[in-house]
């Protein structure tokens, strides 16, 4: 048999409209391939949606694609991922299943006096599909160490998982499963890690579209796999709907940075591209606020770019890069006091007198059963008192 292994679409994950549309278009492209190439079935190994309760427009489009597969008589099998999983079990994945558009293959069984989790197979043709969902904060990792498969002799066994395996994470400080201790299967359809990884029977399909700046930077686009059971083989399919232009610029002078960035951008073909701008460095002159990002984005859009993303979290001023402080106390209050004192000495300003009282005001807790609006008003009232602002002043007037 021949099937598609797809994961990590994170539909509804992007807040930038152009990229949200591109995310859905990439998902649709994967479905197009499944329909045109007449796969026997499709696996979704978690995180179809970016949350258990995605926006209605995202749901409508996703349901439409699942309907296409059903109309083409291509069965779909799913598990939940860490994003679209809900401890209550009430997610739109259940709505998809109840609508007859897919089957959730997570079918656990427990036995008295035994903490083992036995998984039952879902059979299609000569393939037995097992599944275990991802959960928030990697909670599935501990449970997977107790999993066994109820055997299906003579079937090609697919184990669908949404988790991190040790060989894939290498030395990263991520809780992971030792793949050698997992129940035996002929193919492990993995989701969760958005990486390029295929090692023997263990395969991460990658996302159908990158889900953040770094993934756009590294992956450039999406992917999924087509798997043949006899003879066993798999083939990675890339999804590249738009090109990516990436600029990684080091700055030390914010005063001339705008012209420098525009000059570098003018050297690139930006039309219909996703433009990524990463700024880093230690600013000797000026501040980040001196960089005219509005003009930069306007320039990029005028050159016909599809979308524009920037990050400047690694662009710092030396005096604010870190506080040189020898910690002599262990309580949080004492440490905060030392930091305030050190900062005030290094950066003298009349405004420093507000630091301690403002921190005290902003650290108040919401009372039990207190309405959010009441809490907000109480918090703002305290802050106004610290800053010496009267209620009349805060209401503002015409001018």
- The overall average pLDDT reported for the chain is 89
Q: Is residue 346 part of a domain?
A: no
| Domain shared by 174 and 302, yes or no | no
Last residue of a domain, one of 320, 342, 370: 320
pLDDT at position 332 over 90:
no
End-to-end CA distance of the chain: 74
* pLDDT at 379 (0 to 100): 81
Categorize the per-residue pLDDT at 397 as very low, low, confident or very high, splitting at 50, 70 and 90. Answer: very low
DSSP state of 165: B
Tokens encoding 111: 């036995």
* pLDDT at 334 (0 to 100): 59
Q: Percentage of the chain surpassing pLDDT 70?
A: 90
Q: Give the lowest-confidence range in 147-161, 197-211, 238-252, 339-353.
A: 339-353
- Report the run of H or E that residue 177 belongs to, with start and end: none
| Count: domains in the chain | 2
| Domain shared by 200 and 274, yes or no | no
Q: Give the lowest-confidence range in 8-17, 91-100, 387-396.
A: 387-396
**For residue 33, what are the contacts with CB-CB under 8 A and spacing of at least 6?**
4, 224, 226, 237
CATH number (domain holding residue 68): 3.60.21.10
| Domain shared by 151 and 136, yes or no | yes
DSSP state of 47: -
* pLDDT at 360 (0 to 100): 74
Residue keyed to tokens 């007859």: 100
Question: Is the Cβ–Cβ distance between 124 and 40 less than 8 Å?
Answer: yes
User: What distance in Å separates the CA atoms of residue 206 and residue 186, rounded to the nearest whole number?
Assistant: 20
Which carries the bigger pLDDT value, residue 71 or residue 383? 71
DSSP state of 366: P
* pLDDT at 187 (0 to 100): 98
| Domain shared by 259 and 139, yes or no | no
Q: Is residue 355 part of a domain?
A: no
| Domain shared by 230 and 289, yes or no | no
Burial of residue 217 (CB within 10 Å: 0-12, 13-18, 19+) is middle
Last residue of a domain, one of 273, 288, 320: 320
Question: Is the Cβ–Cβ distance between 99 and 61 less than 8 Å?
Answer: no
User: What distance in Å separates the CA atoms of residue 180 and residue 185, rounded to the nearest whole number?
Assistant: 11
Which carries the bigger pLDDT value, residue 373 or residue 203? 203
| Domain shared by 230 and 300, yes or no | no
* pLDDT at 329 (0 to 100): 46
Categorize the per-residue pLDDT at 396 as very low, low, confident or very high, splitting at 50, 70 and 90. Answer: very low
pLDDT at position 373 over 80:
no
Q: Give the lowest-confidence range in 51-55, 172-176, 226-230, 346-350.
A: 346-350
Q: Report cis status (omega within 30 of 0) of the bond before 231.
A: yes
Domain that holds residue 280: 244-320
Q: Is residue 338 part of a domain?
A: no
| Domain shared by 65 and 174, yes or no | yes
Q: Give the lowest-confidence range in 117-131, 312-326, 341-355.
A: 312-326
User: What distance in Å separates the CA atoms of residue 34 and residue 208, rounded to the nearest whole number?
Assistant: 13
Which carries the bigger pLDDT value, residue 134 or residue 363? 134
Categorize the per-residue pLDDT at 354 as very low, low, confident or very high, splitting at 50, 70 and 90. Answer: confident
Strands 127-132 and 156-162 come out as parallel
| Per-residue pLDDT reduced to its tens digit, 158-176 | 999 999 999 999 877 788 8
Tokens encoding 395: 């209401």
| Domain shared by 199 and 253, yes or no | no
Q: Give the lowest-confidence range in 131-140, 147-156, 236-245, 368-377.
A: 368-377
Last residue of a domain, one of 320, 347, 366: 320
Q: Is residue 377 part of a domain?
A: no
pLDDT at position 219 over 50:
yes
| Domain shared by 309 and 263, yes or no | yes
Mean pLDDT across the stretch 359-376? 72
| Per-residue pLDDT reduced to its tens digit, 251-269 | 999 999 999 999 999 999 9
263-266 contact pairs (CB < 8 A, 24+)? 265/296, 265/299, 265/300, 265/303
Mean pLDDT across the stretch 213-240? 97
Q: Is residue 31 part of a domain?
A: yes
Categorize the per-residue pLDDT at 88 as very low, low, confident or very high, splitting at 50, 70 and 90. Answer: low
Mean pLDDT across the stretch 86-95? 78
Question: Is the Cβ–Cβ distance between 155 and 185 less than 8 Å?
Answer: no
Categorize the per-residue pLDDT at 290 as very low, low, confident or very high, splitting at 50, 70 and 90. Answer: very high
* pLDDT at 333 (0 to 100): 55
Tokens encoding 358: 């403002």
| Domain shared by 100 and 199, yes or no | yes
Q: Is residue 43 part of a domain?
A: yes
Question: Is the Cβ–Cβ distance between 6 and 44 less than 8 Å?
Answer: yes
| Domain shared by 232 and 300, yes or no | no
Question: By C-alpha distance, which of 84, 90, 88, 40 is closest to 62?
Answer: 84
Mean pLDDT across the stretch 70-86? 92
Question: By C-alpha distance, which of 397, 246, 364 is closest to 309?
Answer: 246
Q: Is residue 369 part of a domain?
A: no
Q: Is residue 336 part of a domain?
A: no
Which carries the bigger pLDDT value, residue 174 or residue 64? 64
| Domain shared by 225 and 278, yes or no | no
Q: For 357, phi and psi rounded to 5 degrees?
A: -65, -35
pLDDT at position 391 over 60:
no
């Amino acid at each position: 048999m021949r099937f598609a292994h797809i994961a990590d679409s994170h539909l509804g994950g992007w807040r930038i409209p152009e990229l949200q549309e591109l995310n859905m278009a990439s998902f649709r492209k994967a479905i197009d391939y499944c329909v045109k190439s007449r796969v026997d079935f499709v696996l979704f190994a978690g995180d179809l949606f970016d949350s258990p309760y995605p926006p209605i427009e995202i749901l409508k489009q996703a349901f439409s694609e699942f309907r296409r597969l059903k109309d083409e008589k291509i069965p779909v099998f799913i598990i939940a991922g860490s994003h679209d999983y809900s401890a209550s079990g009430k997610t739109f994945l259940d709505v998809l299943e109840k609508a007859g558009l897919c089957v959730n293959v997570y079918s656990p069984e427990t036995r008295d006096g035994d903490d083992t989790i036995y998984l039952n197979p879902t059979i299609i043709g000569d393939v037995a599909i097992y599944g275990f969902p991802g959960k928030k904060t990697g909670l599935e990792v501990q449970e997977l160490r107790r999993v066994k498969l109820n055997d299906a002799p003579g079937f090609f066994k697919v184990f669908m998982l949404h988790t991190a395996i040790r060989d894939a994470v290498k030395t990263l400080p991520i809780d992971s499963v030792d793949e050698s201790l997992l129940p035996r299967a002929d193919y492990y359809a993995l989701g969760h890690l958005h990486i390029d990884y295929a090692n023997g029977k263990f395969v991460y399909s990658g996302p159908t579209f990158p889900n953040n700046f770094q993934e756009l930077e590294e992956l450039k686009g999406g992917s999924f796999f087509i798997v043949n059971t006899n003879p066993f083989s798999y083939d990675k399919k890339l999804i590249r709907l738009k090109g990516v232009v990436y600029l990684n610029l080091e700055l030390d002078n914010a005063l001339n940075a705008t012209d420098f960035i525009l000059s570098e951008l003018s050297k690139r073909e930006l039309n219909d591209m996703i433009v990524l701008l990463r700024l880093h460095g230690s600013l000797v002159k000026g501040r980040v606020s001196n960089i005219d990002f509005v003009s930069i984005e306007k320039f990029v859009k005028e050159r016909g770019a599809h979308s524009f993303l920037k990050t400047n979290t690694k662009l710092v001023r030396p005096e604010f890069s870190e506080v040189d402080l020898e910690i002599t106390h262990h309580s949080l209050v004492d440490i905060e006091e030392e930091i305030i004192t050190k900062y005030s000495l290094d950066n003298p300003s009349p405004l420093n007198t507000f630091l301690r009282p403002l921190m005290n005001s902003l650290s108040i807790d919401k009372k039990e059963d207190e309405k959010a609006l009441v809490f907000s008003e109480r918090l703002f009232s305290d802050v106004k008192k610290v800053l010496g602002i009267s209620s009349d002043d805060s209401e503002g007037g015409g001018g």
